[in-house]
Chains A and B, each alone.
Chain A
Amino acid sequence: MKITKEEIEHVAHLARLELDAEAIERFAGQIGAILAYVDKLKQVDTEGIAPTSHAISLTNAFREDEVHVHLEPEQSLANAPEKEDGTFLVPRIIK
């Protein structure tokens, strides 16, 4: 399994990471080796086998619709890198 530098760059963008040339080179090699190893799963016969997403499956984890105590707005905002008037501030989105 060969993974190209372009593929690493594309996936890094999807994951919102910005890698320099050295990191792309290094990751392409390491991740290529890991994916080559993982590729052996293709040999396993899984015809008709249902996938497992959770080992202990629970269905319909309902609860009563009751009012509970929750964090106050100032507690929720306490860790915000930037905030204003009870909201989270982010850099300008629309130019």
Chain B
Amino acid sequence: MHLFELTIQDAHAKLTAGEISSLELTRAMLERIQAVEPKVDAFISVDEEGALKQAAECDKRIAAGDTTPLTGIPVGIKDLMCTSGMRTTCGSRILDNFVPPYDATVITRLRAAGAVIIGKLNMDEFAMGSSTEHSSIKATRNPWDLDRIPGGSSGGSAAAVSADMCMGALGSDTGGSIRQPASHCSVVGMKPTYGRVSRFGLVAFASSLDQIGPLTKCVFDNAVMMNAIAGYDPADSTSVPKPVPDYTSYLSQGLEGMTVGIPEEYAALEGLDPDVSAAVENAKKVIQDRGAACVDVSLPNTEHVVAVYYVIAPCEASSNLARYDGVRYGFRDAESADLMDMYKHTRTGGFGAEVQRRIIIGTYCLSAGYYDAYYGKASQVRTLIRNDFERAFETCDVILAPVAPTPAFKIGENKEDPLKMYLSDIFTLSANLAGIPGMSVPCGFSKKGLPIGLQLLGKHFDEGSLLKVAYNFEQATDFYKQKPKL
């Protein structure tokens, strides 16, 4: 087995036993990046020098016995989390030259744990998209089929973990942007409860929906990364001051006494691929065999989820992205002599088509005379969606669902039809609207050999139950052990 193929769990054991050093591990990762990155295009930047320096520091820490489960482990970061002194582009021309003067809180936490930050990962511009085709820099390819999208917007994160170019990665999820690419690339992805992980230093897309979470090769690794990043942060007033459990402690528990809810509305949805539906059905059986009971639950407002999201998210985005005006950082159109022209030329030249489309939708919905009809109405229906989950969780502990209605589509297939792309987010959006945690875990392959993910949704702050079900499922199957041929 190559070093780059190790899980975080196995690498940690070898590091602390003195079998390998972090320098060796980091070099192996960098060589792997050199070998497969030209095919996958997952990274926006690779910090070879910085990574080797961090790895040498980690080896000293390990020798001194000062280790955490992440010490010396090379990880990648979606390129919308600020890394001090390291370019952070958000996949956008408007931030192409932006070098943050500070670290995001999640980066501070990873550094404190001793993780080696190996590079920054590609994404749809400002995290708007489900395919990573909307990056201003390049399109990332799915390691399982290079003609297909890796999902998005954290497509670089999912592809890099799947292709063994980093041992784990951070992504962000506003409407499925961790879970959907995890599903398409056969890795484990967690979107934590809103407020569980600090958003300080995360470039904002839709502030009431955004949440940072880990993408990893297996469930254990996911719990380890959650342990490192979760917790209250005084610098983020929406982070919740609640104690953080040891997420790995849930993994040894069985599923006896647990109840899993199956939403009636999901099976009836149009466009659900039969291979996806069969894989999820099989997962349900496996979970039942491990001792969980299944009940039907109802989420009657499912049909409104996409409409609510595609009002609220663009509204928040249009407000958040007003800050890119060419004054303090980022791209400026230097030709304009007049301030208004400078604003307009900077923003029109700096933002890509999908971002401009969403800014216009959001501005329209928030403009005088339309606010109540769109944003006000959507916020009320959002309450109904949240209430649906509260009611469902009265009779079950975890909800089981598909992640995406189909396996990964071909690059270019949906690029000119935004509404079609939005509709494919149906299963993931509601977790962000309701603020609940959601997870994607590999659950099979289509007839064409494309990965399929199983989604688990839980109660607020109950990431533990998701990890428990996911771990039990993983132990009973071997999907996560299968690797793309690169």
- Is A56's CB under 8 angstroms from B194's CB? yes
Contacts of A38 in B (CB 8 A): 307, 310-311, 374, 378
Q: Would A49 and B345 be within 8 Å (CB), given that A38-B310, A79-B99 are in contact?
A: no
Asked if B445 lies at the interface with its beta carbon under 8 angstroms from chain A, I say: no
Closest to B375 in A: A51
Chain A residues closer than 8 Å to B195, beta-carbon distance: 56, 58
Query: A38-B374, A51-B383, A71-B101 in contact; A91/B336 too (CB < 8 A)?
Result: yes
Within the assembled complex, what's the spacing in Å between the Cα atoms of A16 and B101? 27
Q: Which residues of chain A are within 8 angstroms of B328 by Cβ–Cβ distance?
A: 76, 79-80, 88
Q: Pick the interface stretch among B166-174, B284-292, B352-360.
A: B352-360
**Residues of chain B with a CB closer than 8 A to A58's CB:** 195, 237-238, 240
Inter-subunit contact B383/A50 (CB<8 Å): yes
Surface stretch bound by A, among B7-15, B67-75, B271-279, B361-369: B361-369
Closest chain-A Cβ to B408's Cβ sits at a distance in Å of 23
For residues 300 through 346 of chain B, which have their beta carbon under 8 Å from a beta carbon of chain A? 301, 304, 306-308, 310-311, 318, 322, 325-332, 334, 336-345
B-chain residues with CB within 8 Å of residue A91 when the two chains form the complex? 336-339, 341-342
**B381, A41: Cβ atoms under 8 Å?**
yes
Out of A19, A79, A90, name the residue touching B330 (CB < 8 Å): A79
User: Inside 8 A of A52's CB, which chain B residues have their CB?
Assistant: 379-380, 382-383, 386, 433
Question: Is there a chain B Cβ closer than 8 Å to A40's Cβ?
Answer: yes
A53-95 interface with B by 8 A CB criterion: 53-56, 58, 61, 63, 71, 75-76, 78-82, 88, 90-93
Is A50's CB under 8 angstroms from B361's CB? Answer: no
- Taking the closest CB of chain B, its distance from the CB of A93, in whole angstroms, is 5
Assess whether B208 is in contact with A54, with CB atoms less than 8 Å apart. yes
Main secondary structure on chain A at its contact with chain B? loop
State in angstroms the CA–CA spacing of A12 and B356 once bound together. Answer: 9
B417 to chain A, nearest CB (A): 8
Instruction: Looking at the assembled complex, report how far the CB atom of A37 sits from the nearest CB atom of chain B, in whole angstroms.
Output: 6
Q: Is the beta-carbon distance between A18 and B307 smaller than 8 angstroms?
A: no
- B422 at interface (Cβ–Cβ under 8 A)? yes
- Check A46 against B361 for contact (C-beta < 8 Å): no
* B234: interface (CB < 8 Å): yes
Known: A18-B348, A80-B328. A34 touches B382 (CB 8 A): no
Report chain A residues within 8 Å CB of B411. Answer: none
Asked if A11 contacts B240 (CB within 8 A), the reply is: no
Contact of B254 with A by CB under 8 A: no
> Which of chain B's residues have a CB closer than 8 A to the CB of A71?
101-102
Contacts of A11 in B (CB 8 A): 360, 363-364, 367
A90 touches B342 (CB 8 A): yes
Contact indicator A79/B97 (Cβ below 8 Å): yes
Chain B residues lying within 8 Å of A93, measured Cβ to Cβ, are 339
In the complex, what distance in Å separates the CA atom of A18 from the CA atom of B359?
Answer: 12
Q: Are B307 and A37 in contact (CB under 8 A)?
A: yes
Q: Which residues of chain B have C-beta atoms less than 8 A from A44's C-beta?
A: 301, 304, 377, 380-381, 384
With contacts A16-B344, A17-B347, A46-B380 taken as known, whether A55 is within 8 angstroms of B364 at the C-beta atoms is no
Contacts of B384 in A (CB 8 A): 44, 46, 49
Alpha-carbon distance between A88 and B325 when the two chains are bound, in angstroms: 12
What is the CB-to-nearest-CB distance from B158 to chain A, in angstroms, rounded to a whole number?
25
Residues of chain A within 8 A (CB-CB) of B329 are: 79-81
A66 to chain B, nearest CB (A): 10
A and B contact pairs by CB, cutoff 8 A, 16 listed: A15-B347, A16-B340, A17-B360, A19-B348, A35-B364, A38-B311, A42-B373, A44-B301, A46-B377, A51-B383, A52-B380, A55-B386, A55-B434, A79-B98, A80-B328, A92-B337
Closest 7 CB pairs of A and B: A55-B435, A51-B379, A79-B329, A81-B332, A61-B237, A46-B380, A75-B101
- Give the A-binding residues of B (Cβ under 8 A): 97-99, 101-102, 193-195, 208, 234, 237-238, 240, 301, 304, 306-308, 310-311, 318, 322, 325-332, 334, 336-345, 347-348, 351, 353, 356-357, 359-361, 363-364, 367, 373-374, 376-384, 386, 418-419, 422, 433-436, 460
